[in-house]
Amino acid sequence: MTKYLSAAGAARVLGVNEKTIRNWIENGKLKARKAAKNRYNVLATDVEGLRREREQSEVLDVSHLFARMGDLERKYSDLEQKYSELLAVVVKMVEKQAVSQLAVIDAAVSPVVQKCARDEKKVVPVSVPDGSLLFADFAEKHGVPRATFSHHVKIGMKGDVVETFKRPKPGRADHTEYWLTPEQQRAALAYWDRHGVKYDRSAE
């Protein structure tokens, strides 16, 4: 037996209001037969088909969003690389300048470089938990030499290694980035305490 739904019933199935259903009927998006004045009956199979179509559309929208996020992250990585290359060129130019010109160049470049550096440290990729820090930034924050902390992360002391969140560096699959989540940062401080490593406790 063919099953029909009222406009209100179709609205409940599709998660919209009844006015939207009536608009879809008037626009031909949803077929219906008029049962009485201002009353429509819609085939239940048509409603179910439209529900599946809307769910599929939502899945595609989410997939597009994730693809867009990945694209933005790759673009940021490219900009980061270009910034590093530009900074290297600027440094070489500054080194070649006469002492009398150094102050002028520094006054023009330094604020931009400092702002870019600050902004770069604030950016956490979408695939990394909020509040995470690159291992080098964490070491600098606590006054521990980067090379020393790199040893703690990659080799460890007495079989004890600092746990990190690893991920391939965007655009450079042969390189690995080492991040510390907030929980791993606390664990790293405890690691230093266990092994008597001196660090800046005021930065905790």
Does this model's pTM top 0.75? My answer is no
pLDDT band at 113 (very low <50, low <70, confident <90, very high): very low
pLDDT, one tens digit per residue, over 122-152 is 566 767 888 899 999 999 999 999 999 999 9
pLDDT, one tens digit per residue, over 70-98 is 778 888 888 888 888 898 888 888 777 65
187 vs 96 pLDDT, higher one? 187
User: What DSSP letter does each residue of 126-193 carry, written as one string?
Assistant: TTS-TT-EEHHHHHHHTT--HHHHHHHHHT-BTTB----EEEEETTEEEEEEEEE-HHHHHHHHHHHH
Structure confidence at residue 186 (pLDDT) = 94
Structure confidence at residue 155 (pLDDT) = 92
Structure confidence at residue 141 (pLDDT) = 93
Task: Look up residue 59 and give its two tokens.
Answer: 């899945």
